Amino acid sequence: MVIGIALSIWGTSPVLCQDSSAQSLYDRAGVALDKGDTELAIKLYEQLLQQRPDSAEARTNLGVALAHAGRYGEAEQQYRQVLSRDPENEMAQLNLALALYKRADFSDARDEFERLHKLNPANQQAFYLLADCDLRLGRYKDTIALVEPAYDARPDDAALDYLLGTSLIKDEQTQKGAAVIDQIMRNGNASLANVLMGAAQYGAGDYKASAATLRKALDENPNLPGAWTLYGRALVSGGEYEGAKAAFQRALQQDPNDFDACLHLGGILRHDGDAENAASYIKHALTLRPESAAAQFQISALQASEGKLEEARGGFEKLVKQWPDFAEAHLQLATVYARLHLRQESERERRISVELNDKSGAKGAQQEIP
C-alpha cells in the first residue's frame, strides 16, 4: 500500500512580510530547501528564528529541513514547540506525526495521527496513516472500526481494500474478509485478492495452499504490500526455511519496518546459529512493537542460545506470567531451568507445555502470539 508521507512546508508568511530582513532569510531558506541544500536551509531558518523566535512558519519549516537531513528527533522538538503555542496547528501536527512515522515510532505516530484525524476528519493523509499504524501495531479491531465506514462508501479504493481485508482476516473475521476479497475480484485486482485469500488459507492452517496462492500473487505483482512476509510465514509453517528466509529478506527490502518479517527472519537466523544478525532483526522487531510477546520470546531465546541463562530465565518467567497459554515459552523456560539444574521447575514447565500443546492440537489450531 502506497501512502504519501511527504512533509509539508509553509510558503509565504504574512507576519514576516512586514520585515524585509526576516522575509529575505525566509525566502533564501525556502529556495535552499527546494534545491535540496538542507544544511544551508537549516542554517538560514536558525538565523531567522534568532530574530523571530515566535514564527510558527519558520519553525515548522526548520523541522522539515531537519527531517530531510535525517535529524528526526530535532525536527520533532521544533514541531512540539509550535504546538505548545498553537495546539491546533494542523501542519505542525501532521509533520510531527510524519517524523515519528518515518523513524518507525508507530505507537507515538499513531497517537499524533489520531489527534489530527479528530482535529480534521477530512485530512485523508492522516486517516490512511492512522489506519496503517493500527495495522502495523496489530490493532486490527481499531483498523476495522476506522476503515469500515469509509470502505462502505468507497469499495473500489485499493488502499481501503487492503487495510480492511487484511485486518478482518488477521482478526479471524473470515466471512467478512471473504466478502472484501469478492469485492476486490469484482474490481479486477486479482493479485491483491490472492494475497488476502492466501492470508485466509494461512489462518485456516492450510499452509501449502496458502504458499501456492501467495506465490501466484507475487508472480503477478512482486510489489504487493505484505505479500512476501505472508509467503515467508506460510513457508516456515511448511518447514521450508531457506525459501522463507529469502522471502523475509525480500519483504524487508520493500519495508525495513515490517514487524513480522523482522521477527521471523531473526528467528530463522537464531536457529541457524547466526546470533549477531538475528539480534539486529529481533531487537528492531521489539522496537516496532515493544509490547509484543513474540518479540520478547525471541529476545529471551537468543539470550538462552548465548548462555545468558539468568537473563533468559527472567524473560521467559515474565512471558509465562503474562501469557500463561504460551506453550513454547513454557518449553523454553523448562530448558533454561534444566540448564540451571532446577529439576522440579523444569519438569513443571515441560508438563504445562505438553498439556497446552495437547489442548491446541485438539482444537486443530496453530497458536498465534501477538
What separation in angstroms does the CA of 265 have from each of 79, 199, 306? 36, 19, 18
- Residue 177 pLDDT > 80: yes
Residue 55 contacts residue 16 (beta carbons within 8 Å): yes
Residues 6+ apart with CB under 8 A from 337: 313, 343, 345, 346, 349
Q: Cα–Cα–Cα angle for 78, 110, 116, nearest 5°? A: 65
List, in sequence order, the alpha helices (H) in the chain: 20-34, 38-51, 56-68, 72-85, 90-102, 106-119, 124-136, 140-153, 158-170, 174-186, 190-203, 207-220, 227-237, 241-254, 259-271, 275-288, 293-305, 309-322, 327-339, 343-363
User: Phi and psi for 68 in degrees, rounded to 5?
Assistant: -60, -30
For residues 225-250, average pLDDT: 95
- Residue 252 pLDDT > 90: yes
- Residue 16 pLDDT > 60: no
Least trusted range by pLDDT, from 48-57, 65-74, 282-291, 356-365: 356-365
For residues 166-175, average pLDDT: 91
Residues 6+ apart with CB under 8 A from 222: 228, 250
Q: pTM of the prediction? A: 0.75
Residue 5 contacts residue 98 (beta carbons within 8 Å): yes
**SS3 (DSSP) at 10:** coil
Tell me the pLDDT tens digit for each residue of 114-153.
999 998 999 999 999 999 999 999 999 999 999 999 999 9
**Domains of the chain, with CATH numbers?**
1-133 (1.25.40.10)
Please report the pLDDT score of residue 350 as a whole number.
Answer: 95
Least trusted range by pLDDT, from 5-14, 173-182, 226-235, 316-325: 5-14
CA–CA dist 16, 127 (Å, integer)? 32
For residues 68-81, average pLDDT: 91
88: Cα separation from own chain's centroid: 27
Least trusted range by pLDDT, from 7-11, 19-23, 41-45, 316-320: 7-11
What radius of gyration do the chain's Cα atoms show?
Answer: 24
Please report the pLDDT score of residue 365 as a whole number.
Answer: 47
CA–CA dist 62, 166 (Å, integer)? 37
C-alpha cell at position 184? 476486490
pLDDT band at 204 (very low <50, low <70, confident <90, very high): confident
Q: Which among 167, 152, 165, 155 has a CA at the least distance from the CA of 191? A: 165
pLDDT band at 359 (very low <50, low <70, confident <90, very high): confident
Residue 256 contacts residue 136 (beta carbons within 8 Å): no
Tell me the pLDDT tens digit for each residue of 89-125.
999 999 999 989 988 899 999 999 999 999 899 999 9
